[in-house]
Chains A and B, each alone.
Chain A
């Protein structure tokens, strides 16, 4: 194949893409849809449930303050600190619950694997930016709030190429 033919073929294969739909995800307007409600773990079988490893969700009525999540995080990111909570739960004698610093968290989900009481899960919320370092520290009360999400974009594959529809 000659040089001129090769260059024309290369240009031609690029020009074909003018007729193909764009693949780009326009992020703030469109958001990717994920499987499930976030990464969860079933201690009875010892196997996780697939989902995005985003911000955590703490169920106050399950948490016993056993610190296993904090111990699991010790070797990874040291992001979890156990703090006093004002409320009184009957299963939580010491009234301590995890507080997570997302400035340190690496979102590996080993704390979710460590929890034997179905108290700590992860959610599909990944937009955690803040102007201050203190704003990244989520207290047990903040972690109990279910995030509001509007994620509906998925990869569609058609004859005219792939798009985020």
Chain B
């Protein structure tokens, strides 16, 4: 494996031993993307990821819509993680518009955010299972995900694209008796994901396929700017919920899961451990949440900002640190919305990881990077 590899490297002239292989543009469960690999026999010698097939112009669209109507479309990049994708935008818009958020709304947001993180991770895990030909690991997470989708449906009224967070709080209060239902289903969910250890994580077939493949060292993980579970799997203790808490994460006890190996196995295990931590956070938030009170500050349908301002907010999403930079020129629409997405940052590590690997290990390395093509292209 070469030590330093510039991301998105240009294809070299092909000699007789080397074959260029187009993997894609295909839809590996999340959006189209292509990887151009050069192989020598069974070994990858060069790799050029080619994102951009699902570019939707979300950032440009945000310049023509006001701070409220931006909500339903800015969550589209990752519909399974829609609350977390919207979170930094909502935090930024609140600061620009100068709105205070009620205390109960902050707790509702934390609960929705953690539920969404689990929903996303379960979907990711299902695809990881089927990538490795493990169809039980496709069926189980896809089914158990339903427990949490049902909860989000009760809260927000939609299964995936919730449009629930809004500048000023959340759209609606929790339904009656939600705490009991949530606690029951989250506890059962946690019991279920612990069963995955025997069938998947302790399974020797998985271990032999993922152990020591695509090793990302601690130094390289920091150098390439990876984030989230990829960074934590390489031994860096970095979680924005702990390092730069937003909303009410300061008052909650969040534990960061760090593994040292930096291989595909560690990268696939950290999100699973994070899900258990999410269950803990949901239980804490349900306990500490004020039992009554407003959840939304009243706002005009077309709110005006006070004047030119810039703001950068970031949150820990299902894939890592997700930032949103908003520039306002005092009008009702933002002047510029720029998202710094974890998927693209994790993708930058891919050429380095794949070189020297066998072609058959590509799926296990590719999907363990927690890369979501639609989010990277926006």
Contacts and interface: CB of A to CB of B under 8 A. Distances in A.
Interface of A: 1, 3, 6-7, 9-10, 12-14, 23-25, 32, 34-36, 38-39, 41, 45-53, 68, 71-72, 74-77, 106-110, 113-114, 122, 155, 157, 162
Contacts of B146: 23, 25, 155
Given A23-B146, A50-B154, A113 B66 contact: no
A108 B161 contact: yes
Nearest to B207: A6
Contact of B202 (A1, A50, A157): A1
B294 A50 contact: no
B157 A109 contact: yes
A71 B207 CA distance: 55
B53 interface: no
A155 B72 contact: no
A121 B357 CA distance: 56
A4 B150 CA distance: 38
Contact of B158 (A12, A13, A49, A53): A53
Contacts, number: 120
Contacts of B150: 32, 155
A39 B157 contact: yes
B204 A3 contact: yes
A10 B203 contact: yes
25 contacts: A1-B204, A6-B202, A6-B204, A9-B202, A10-B198, A13-B195, A13-B199, A34-B153, A35-B176, A39-B172, A41-B172, A46-B299, A47-B295, A47-B296, A48-B171, A48-B172, A48-B173, A49-B173, A50-B154, A76-B73, A109-B163, A114-B301, A157-B185, A162-B185, A162-B188
Nearest to A77: B72
Interface residues of B, number: 47
Nearest to A38: B157
Nearest to B172: A48
Contacts of A36: 175
B236 to A, nearest CB: 29
A141 to B, nearest CB: 25
A53 B202 contact: no
Nearest to B301: A114
Given A32-B150, A50-B154, A162-B147, A75 B66 contact: yes
B205 interface: yes
Given A35-B175, A47-B294, A109-B157, 10 more contacts: A35-B154, A39-B172, A45-B294, A50-B174, A52-B158, A53-B157, A74-B69, A75-B70, A76-B65, A113-B171
A41 B277 CA distance: 34
